[in-house]
Structure 1
Amino acid sequence: MTRYLVYDVFAEAPFEGNQLAVIPAADTLPEAALQQVAREFNFSETTFVYPPEDPAHSARVRIFTPTMEVPFAGHPTIGTAVALVEAGLGPEMVLELGIGPLPAHAAQGAARFTTAAPLEVLAYPEPALVARALGLPGDRIVTTRNPPVMASVGLPFTLTELADRAALSACRPDTAAFEAGRDAYPGALDFAQYAYVRDGAAVHARMFAPLDQIPEDPATGSAAAALAAYLAQDERPLRLSLRQGEDMGRPSLIGLEADGRSVTVSGGARRIMEGRLLL
């Protein structure tokens, strides 16, 4: 039997934030079981922790959505770092991810990591297609300051500024439009959408990836990191407090700092349950 832990990540209280399953001793599982286990939990991500390949590092971490393995994601990195420090590692650590070694710090139920992965601007999707995907009238999409952009610091998301908080709440994803976006932009994580509203240092956001069996994600650190890196091209240093998940009843809080060279993502993680996989 293999132990598992479940955390609420980027949460300020139990039953908030984004759920994460952590398998601390994944080397006890057969390779073929990893995707099946992630699908069984059906959280946006599950992490599988292995001994590091480099003995100077803390752990090797593999991240699975319900449908695929991904090289990097934010809330799995935060939650896994907290799980590792609770197991006696850290507080400083280096995690081996699909994007390479990533420095992290965890203590007292919170963690942060810093990524220096370069910002990739992959495309500027048509605002009309983005509006269809979000189920919004076209005039709710901001096209002047920061038009919709597909960007990545490890995982690609379409970052779209909306006119106001009411527009963010009004989003109703249209799966057919996501399919059209996936076909138009292959390799772009099924046209995952990160819609946001900004007021100075305060940001509210929502993330939709229905083609990856994630109708809505309560907290998306990798998308938040891409947004910070993108905005930091014109604003340095940049510090943001980002709230996500409020419209789906799982409020989350993500801290962001960017200087044009790297992005630091921070937040809390609370262990909410644990058990055994009967495999």
Structure 2
Amino acid sequence: MTRSRRYSEVDVFAATPYRGNPLAVVHDAEGLSDADMQQFANWTNLAETTFLLAPTNPQADYRVRIFTASEELPFAGHPTLGSARAWLDSGGAVSPDGVVVQECAAGLVSIRVSGDRFAFQAPPLTRYEAVDESHLQRIADVLGIRREEILDSSWIVNGPRWIGIRLHSAQDVLELRPDPAQLGDLEIGVVGPYGPEATAQFEVRAFFGGDAVWEDPVTGSLNAGLARWLMDTGAAPANYVASQGTVLDRQGRVHISVDGDVIWVGGHVSACISGSVLI
């Protein structure tokens, strides 16, 4: 039955509101069917829309379901941080150790909260291996570059089916003009380093086929996978900042830090819209 439910829109991974990646959040989503959620997520026309529910795991503070315009995701980064902010703003409370625990289809995800800075514990990679040559040639064609410009690559799947691609420099990443018509089912994350004078150490871009939005402004899941891969291959330090969304006039900043064997992926989250929705 249609009823009024609390509704939020938050901006994730930017210190300045409206310069990061927006997220729609429907609170108290009990009673909505899978089809209801998918249809509403398609209607918002954002990269993701989330639905907050009571947890089924006693260790979790809340449960979330994450939808793109066309499918449900088991995990995604900016929806994780944005949902935590929306849940706290609706009356949730952080534990004494500063952690919120989210339940999603991929399992439990810990989120550290410090003011308006949130960071999620990167989930394990479910596919982490070399990319075959036929994929790499196809990716080079999609990106409009020569195959030899790809310095390194890896599958870095952690929910979304990302393939990580490393280029020589951040400028090379910024200059990419891929053809969205050729993306098909590919989900490509491209990274390149800045020089020592820059405030961010890397520029990141995320391209994917299948949805109306084909370049994501700022992407938590991708940056989580890139961090694991770049650190394992010696291409990145244990703590760094990645810039994303520059070509889309965003100011995304993703803060990567390591605590023991755990990678934390964080950034600012701003509350932007609060109201209700009939659904």
User: Above 0.5 in TM-score?
Assistant: yes
The correspondence for 1:121, drawn from 123, 128, 131, is: 128
Matched position secondary structure for 1:4? strand
Q: Distance in 2 between matches of 1:67 and 1:258?
A: 33
Query: Is the 2:255–2:266 Cα contact (8 Å) retained in structure 1?
Result: yes
- 1:111 equivalent to 2:118? Answer yes
Query: Is the 1:85–1:106 Cα contact (8 Å) retained in structure 2?
Result: no
Higher mean alpha-carbon deviation, 207-216 vs 222-231, is at 207-216
The residue number in structure 2 matching 1:88 is 91
Superposed displacement of residue 82, structure 1: 1.3
Query: Is the 1:22–1:49 Cα contact (8 Å) retained in structure 2?
Result: yes
The residue number in structure 2 matching 1:219 is 218
The residue number in structure 1 matching 2:62 is 59
- 1:132 equivalent to 2:141? Answer yes
Query: Is the 1:10–1:219 Cα contact (8 Å) retained in structure 2?
Result: yes
Higher mean alpha-carbon deviation, 242-251 vs 104-113, is at 104-113
Paired residues in the alignment total 265
Matched position secondary structure for 1:52? coil
Query: Is the 2:168–2:193 Cα contact (8 Å) retained in structure 1?
Result: no
Matched position secondary structure for 1:22? strand
The correspondence for 1:29, drawn from 21, 28, 32, is: 32
The residue number in structure 2 matching 1:256 is 256
Higher mean alpha-carbon deviation, 201-210 vs 228-237, is at 228-237
The residue number in structure 2 matching 1:15 is 18
Considering only aligned residues, what root-mean-square deviation do their CA atoms show, in Å?
2.1
Q: Distance in 2 between matches of 1:258 and 1:98?
A: 24
- 1:207 equivalent to 2:202? Answer no
Superposed displacement of residue 110, structure 1: 2.1
Superposed displacement of residue 15, structure 1: 1.3
| Alpha-carbon displacement from aligned partner over 1:42-69 (angstroms, at most 9, x marks no partner) | 1111111100112332001110011100
| Alpha-carbon displacement from aligned partner over 1:168-203 (angstroms, at most 9, x marks no partner) | 122222245323xxxxxxxxxx21111111247711
The correspondence for 2:109, drawn from 97, 102, 105, is: 102
2:145 alignment partner AA: L
The residue number in structure 1 matching 2:193 is 198
The residue number in structure 2 matching 1:161 is 166
Query: Is the 1:228–1:257 Cα contact (8 Å) retained in structure 2?
Result: no
Query: Is the 1:67–1:213 Cα contact (8 Å) retained in structure 2?
Result: no
The residue number in structure 1 matching 2:49 is 46
Q: Distance in 1 between matches of 2:19 and 2:118?
A: 16
Query: Is the 1:232–1:260 Cα contact (8 Å) retained in structure 2?
Result: no
TM-score after normalising by structure 1: 0.87
Query: Is the 1:45–1:66 Cα contact (8 Å) retained in structure 2?
Result: yes
Query: Identity across aligned pairs (percent)?
Result: 32
Q: Which runs of 5+ in 2 are unaligned?
A: none
The residue number in structure 2 matching 1:183 is none
Superposed displacement of residue 219, structure 1: 0.5
Q: Distance in 1 between matches of 2:223 and 2:273?
A: 26
Superposed displacement of residue 123, structure 1: 4.4
Query: Is the 2:6–2:26 Cα contact (8 Å) retained in structure 1?
Result: yes
Structure 1 segments of 4 or more deviating over 6 A?
A: none
Matched position secondary structure for 2:272? strand
Higher mean alpha-carbon deviation, 49-58 vs 16-25, is at 49-58
Q: Distance in 1 between matches of 2:8 and 2:137?
A: 42
Q: Distance in 1 between matches of 2:111 and 2:68?
A: 22
Superposed displacement of residue 228, structure 1: 0.7
The correspondence for 2:76, drawn from 73, 78, 85, is: 73
Matched position secondary structure for 1:40? helix
Matched position secondary structure for 2:210? helix
